[in-house]
Each structure stands twice: as C-alpha cells, then as structure tokens.
Amino acid sequence: MKDGLSPLSAGLIALAFILSTASFSWNENHALIYPDESHILEDQTPQVANCSVSGFEGMPVALNASCALGSSPENASHRWDLDSDGVWDTSWIVTEEYEHIWGDDFTGSARVERGLPKDVVDIVLEGELHEVGALNPTQWIAQAFVPNRPLLTKVAVDVSVNWGQPSDLHAWIRDTLDPSGSNLSHGSLPYTEVPRGRYIEPDEWPIIDVEDVVLELNRMYYIMLNLFYPTNGSYEGHGNGLLVPEWPTYGGNLDSGWTGPDDDDNLGFRTYTREITPVAQGEIDVEIQNINPVISDSSYQIDDASASILFRIAGEKWHNVEVHIFESDDEIGYANITRYPGSPNNQTVRLANVSIDPSKKYSATAYYTPEDDPINGQIWGATPAWFVFEFDNTSRRIHHTFNVRHEETWVWNIEDLNQYLPLPTVTLEAIAYDPGSDDLKFKWSFGDGTFDEHIYYNNGMNPDPYPSPDVNPVIVTDLTLHGYSSAGTYTIILTVTDDDNGEVAVSMVLSV
C-alpha cells in the first residue's frame, strides 16, 4: 500500500479472484506462485494386494477405500470411478465408505482417489468488480464478487486499526445489497486478532473464517464487512473502486470513500475456497454376478364358450322323436318333435343354450317311437335327424337316421358331446421380476407344438446396452391367449430369460 493515505479512508475494499494454494508466494506482478505438488500422488499411493469385492446386480455393494489405500487420515475425502472408465462417478465424499448398486453384471475394477482438504486463495486482479459499494458512514463496507469455485470458507480483509482500541470484525456473505435480503454465511474475528498499524502487508491481513457456503458460479455476490468503532481510534482500510452508499446509516464519524487505484497491491479482499488435493489412488477388483429373473406368479384361465343346441328331423310324415340333453347328470334340454307335412327346414326345435364348462360332461339321447305315431301316417319309412350346434360364427351337425325296419336305430345315444363343442380360449398370465436393469423375454410353450414370445425392454424402447447405464429393477406382467385345436391334456412351459442369459421356468398342466 502507499504511504500517506488519509486515515479517513476507512473500509475501502476491493475483491478479485485467481487460483493459488494456502501456501503461496507473490511475484513482482502480485500474482500467486504455485508450488509443485506433482510428486504427492505418486509418493502416497500404497500398493495393497488382494483388494476385491463381489456382489449381485441390483443389490448394494459396500466399497471401502481403506482396502485399496490403507487407513484413512483425518479429514480425508474420497471419490470413485466405479467402472474405471476415467470419469469420476461421484464427487468428493467425506468418508472412506461408499455403497453402490450395479444394474448389470460386471467384472472389472473400481478406482478410488483419496484427497485432503486445503484452502485455496482466490484473488481478483482483472476488474471483475461490476459494482462496488462502500456503505455510508463506513461502519459497513460492501464489495461485489463473482466466485470461481463454489465452496467459500474464509475472507481476508485489508483492514487494521490505526489508533485506539479496536472491536470485533464481522463479515457476511449475501446475494443482494438490499437490507431486507438474507445472509448466506457469517464469520467474525475477535478484536484481539485485528492487526495494528496504518499499513499492513497482504500476508498480514486478518482472516475471518466464515461458515462454509456453496455459491453458484458466474453469479454476483457481496461481502459485507462490519467495522465496529474502536474505542477512541479509527480503522484503516484500503482498496479501490467506486463508492455507492446504499446501506442504512448508524451514525459515526468515519468518512466514506475509496482511495485511488493502488499500484502496489491493488487488493482489498481475498476469499478462500476449499479444494481437495488428490494424494493417493488405488483400485478395487469388482465382480458383480447376474441374478436370474424370478417368476412371482403364473396362472391360466379357460374362457367361457357357448353354443346353441338344436334338433331337426325330416323323412316320413307323422313320425316323432323324443330328445334329452344332459350336463353331467343334470338334464338341461328336452323336446318331443313330430315330422309334419312341409319343408323340414321349418321343423327344428332349440333344445338349450349352453355356456360350456370344460370341467363338465355333456351327453344326449334321442328316442324314436313309431308305434304311437298318428294313424294317418305310414309306419314304414325312415326319419333322418340332426343335432345342430351353433357357435359364434360357425355351426356343426351330427346325423343319424331312424328306421322302422331296424329297431337298433330307435335309440340314438351320444355319450360325449364335448368333442363336438367348441374348444375354449385359454388366457395365460405371468408376473416376473428382475433386480437388475435387464430386458425380459417371455416364451410360452403351449404343449401342442406351438410357441409365443414377448420381449419387454427395460427402457421401454430399445435393447439394453451392456453394461446397463442405470439401475432400474423391473416387474413385468405378460398376458397371452391361446386356442387349442383338439381336446386333451397339455403341459404349458413358461421360460423367462434376461438379456444376460439368466433364465427361470415354470410349468402348468391344463386339460381342454
């Protein structure tokens, strides 16, 4: 700083940013000189053998940095590259333990880096001042700044007590100069640590430890410095910029104002941010096994079929037939039909409308009784007859001819009508679960030589890449319909396969 500045230039502060380390030195241009730390990482990386973990996809796996790097020093942080692809998958974590879930099977290594915290000095030397305010009557001083790093930890100020007894210093970090705005962070310095002397060097500036606060990059913030009056003396502060008094006044006798540019240091504030310095790296061998999908439920339902059963006769007039229809042992239809003159197409009787239950047996009996026919009929002759089964869109007929000359034809007994009825449609349903992020394929074998397959993509659109980019366990419900062409007993096999060739199968026995 220049000698001869007026002691009335209290609270004059400038702020700027540049990167350095907590241990730094200044060159003749007042820039920071970086120490060489290239040896730290290599020297402190231990060689730990047989460091490995194993687990299963979709399940938490515990990683511990001490396995690869030895015991962790106090205040150490760690970050993880979980598939050793050169990209850190986590930020710095203030613990040596980390739990991760792999969404796919994996064989490889997880890279871990250990770091130790250190404060980094950010210096403004390039005029990023935007708007500078010194607050009348310099009991408050404000300085605008745009952070280069998010975590602000300390503030160093170019302020000292010129004469008299100082009081505590306070600093606030704010996002507005509006008095109604909120404080983001605060720190204070006891008066015993406020330096004395009219002009002090940068490495003697008092440092105020503020509460750690995360700031947004490329956004303007303000440092507010509160200079309580010394008892019987004055503070001396130096910086450069334009005074814009906007803060409430509290009285006092210190002038407000800025000095002119100070070619000696051009600084009034320094801020400190916290950085992690890598000191060691290591690897942990990882083997994650695939887990086969699980079929949590499987079932089938035989859908109802229906049919209308009719009876029709033709042939010699006045002959009649008595018909009975049974479901199991229960009669569900009866008719006594006589062949009248006219077209036989008009001589059909509806016996029953049946909602077919595959678990029941359907049968029919028809009796031909020519002896009690009306007297004006001819006893000789034949009477063709048909059972007609009408389904939704089709029909089926069964024929028999009654003949007076052949008494063995007088009773027509059909013990198994089921073979003429429509076969029902079978609805099959299954629910499968996969703990990883796999695609699932459902393959149904219906037991009659036919198959059906359905594929469900984990992301709903595309095949799952390897390894899966996300952890997304899935529960899939699959539904399929099948119609059999003939009655019988069938063994249905469902096989569910994931995209890593893990599979599970269940079977069901179905009678149609």
Phi, psi of 193 (to 5 degrees): -105, 5
Query: Does residue 2 belong to any structural domain of this protein?
Result: no
Does residue 286 form part of some domain?
Answer: no
My answer on whether 133 and 239 are in the same domain is yes
**pLDDT (0 to 100) of residue 7:** 29
Least confident of 188-192, 270-274, 424-428: 270-274
Residues 384 and 437 in one domain: no
Torsion-angle region of 314 (φ positive above 0: left; ψ -120 to 50: alpha; else: beta): beta
Where is the domain boundary, 420, 441, 469?
420
Give residue 187's pLDDT: 94
Q: Which of 231, 256, 281 is the last residue of a domain?
A: 256
* Portion of the chain with pLDDT greater than 90, in percent: 34
Q: What is the mean pLDDT of residues 86-112?
A: 92
Which of 184-188, 433-437, 487-491 is least confident?
Answer: 487-491
Q: Per-residue pLDDT for 38 more than 70? A: no
233 and 207 belong to one structural domain: yes
Asked whether residue 191 is domain-assigned, the answer is yes
CATH assignment at residue 496: 2.60.40.10
Produce one character per residue of 321-348: b if its CB has 16 or more CB atoms within 10 Å, e if not: bebbbbbeeeeebebebebeeeeeeebe
Which one of 226, 256, 286 terminates a domain?
256
SS3 content of the chain, % helix, strand, coil (to 5): 5, 50, 45
Query: What pLDDT score does 318 carry?
Result: 83
Q: Structural domain tally of the chain?
A: 3
> What is d(CA 509, CA 447) in angstroms, rounded to the nearest whole number?
9
- For residues 208 and 164, membership in a common domain is answered with yes
* 215 occurs within a structural domain: yes
Same domain, 232 and 335: no
**Is 71 part of any domain?**
no
C-alpha 81 chain-centroid distance: 20
Indicate if 168 and 242 belong to the same structural domain: yes
Q: How far apart are CA 28 and CA 30, in angstroms?
A: 5
Q: Residue 8: is its pLDDT beyond 90?
A: no
Domain that holds residue 351: 305-420
Instruction: Give the pTM.
Output: 0.56
Do residue 133 and residue 252 come from a single domain?
A: yes
Q: How many CB atoms lie within 10 A of CB 278?
A: 17
**Where is average pLDDT lowest: 61-65, 157-161, 225-229, 353-357?**
225-229
Contacts of 330 (CB under 8 A, 6+ apart): none
The highest-confidence range among 34-48, 199-213, 217-231, by mean pLDDT, is 199-213
Query: What is the per-residue pLDDT for 232?
Result: 56
Domain presence at residue 95: no
Does residue 409 share a domain with residue 331? yes
169 in a structural domain: yes
Place of tokens 């409430």: 248
* Claim to verify: residue 379 and residue 322 sit in the same structural domain: yes
407 and 428 inside one domain: no
Mean pLDDT of the chain: 77
Residue 9, pLDDT > 60, answer: no
Express each pLDDT in 341-394 by its tens digit. 888 777 788 888 878 776 788 899 999 988 776 655 567 778 899 999 888 777
Q: What is the pLDDT of residue 304?
A: 72
Distances (CA, A) of 137 to 144, 242, 258: 18, 15, 12
> Cα(123)–Cα(270) distance, rounded to whole angstroms?
6
Looking at the domain assignment, is residue 320 inside a domain?
A: yes
Residue 227 has pLDDT above 60, yes or no: yes
Residues 449 and 384 in one domain: no
Confidence at 54, pLDDT banded by 50, 70, 90: very high
Binned at pLDDT 50, 70 and 90, residue 259 comes out as: very low
Segment 392-406 shows an average pLDDT of: 86
Are 192 and 208 members of one domain? yes
